[in-house]
Amino acid sequence: MKGASQLVAMLPWLAFGHLIPFLQLSISLAKAGFRISFLSTPKNIQRLPKLPQDLTSHITFVELPLPRVDGLDQAAEATVDLPTLADDLLKKAYDLLLPHFHHFVARESPIFIVHDLVTHWTAEIARQFGVPRVLFSIYSAAPIAFVGLGESLSVDQLRKHWPTPESLTSPPPWIPFRSTVAFLPHEGEMMHGMFTTDASGISLAQRVVSAVDGCEAMVLRSCAEYEGEYLDVLKKYPKPVIPIGLLQPEKCETDPTAGDWGSIFRWLDGKAPRSVVFVVFGSECKLRKNEVYEIAHGLELSELDFLWALRRPEWAMDDSEALPTGFEARTKGRGIVHLGWAPQLEILAHQAIGGSMFHAGWGTIIETVQYGHPLVVLPFANVQGLDARLAVEKGLAVEVEREKDGKFHREAITKALRWAVIEDEGEGLRLRSREMMAIFSDRGLHERYLSKFVEFLKGYRTK
């Protein structure tokens, strides 16, 4: 495999929870000797982290202009740019990238296309040009096993497996061991929407089936040391299912102590080890006013020190409306709320951090456990609930209790925080998190996983 024969095309969905893992995989493959074309929209490419200097000649960013769609803000190129979780119009614009990608494949002749779960239209192009495809799922194995990507897959089969929202609230029969990984009632209502057609006239279920159909392999950001039993379920899939390790993120190259963060890190320096809760729900999580306020009141009632990285909500006219009246004054000295971006890895690495509360996204679980912190999980969207239950199942997390309709209250926030950080009953949780730190932070282990995928790519063309 030399020269142009080594080009791999990477095509992620337009969400930074997908773009970043695809970039991490691109970097890893570039280190293994492949040339990478990373395809996305101009604005998204501009917002990605900078590449390591020694890899800039190995990874090329290919800008695909996002077509205009009526009703979609012209400045919106990723889910983070949307005011709500509804992304139908963005999916429609994404689907209209097909001719641009067609032109790219015709011109560059990649040896492989690595694509996302929603990118159903790569199948048509791959068949036309005879380019093999690899499906990269940025999710852990448990949600994929739960959905049922087994021996065969069709939309009709998915409907049969999941006929009602209630059916999603119990582990499926093909999980042969005791499992708590299932959706809560309010999540089941949301996830059953996968059978509803979107603005492109296609359902999420159809997207997934088309993305899976005909790919040469499925790769997962996972490892057997964490969820081996769920990976075993996926062995029924007729194509190779390759765990590639956890793709641990690197700390940012910019100075984390610049600007306001200098004083915040000095504040952390003055706190006792493992005494501060780090609260972060990311830029993609669209919290309602009552949800932000309940989290705030829960933090206040917990009497724990905390650092909360909060993106100013769309509903807040200014910074003062983002939090309950008087909250910052009442928690002064033991709590800081920073509105905007946060150097998340540097914060998690600080000795003062004793736990983290977040939405249970798989990427943030990886980031947090690699530093040995117990998790307080409060899932909101997609398969976060499944990853939350898996983390609880593995003894790494406590989940904030919710009512049947999905509402949560400040008392539940307080209870979960204190359990994870200071209560005697939570000591096992804290010990287990520190034990799993050895696995999640073992870069050698995860590089060995990735090498299996590299062997697959190189061996595929030599068969």
DSSP code, position 197: B
The DSSP bridge pattern shows strands 335-339 and 305-310 to be parallel
What is the spatial order of strands in the sheet that 133-137 belongs to? Answer: 59-63, 35-40, 7-11, 112-115, 133-137, 217-220, 241-243
DSSP states along 284-351: T----HHHHHHHHHHHHHHT-EEEEEEPPPTT-SSGGGGS-TTHHHHTTTTEEEEES---HHHHHTST
Task: Tell me if residue 63 falls in helix, strand or coil.
Answer: strand
B/e letters for 392-404, b = 16+ CB within 10 Å, e = fewer, are: bebebbbbbebee
Q: Are 400 and 388 in contact (CB under 8 A)?
A: no
Q: Give yes or no: 18 in active site.
A: yes
Token reading at 5? 């024969």
Cα–chain center distance at 321: 29
Q: Give yes or no: 120 in active site.
A: no
Catalytic residue among 18, 120, 350, 446: 18
Catalytic residue among 87, 116, 305, 387: 116
The set of catalytic residues is 18, 116
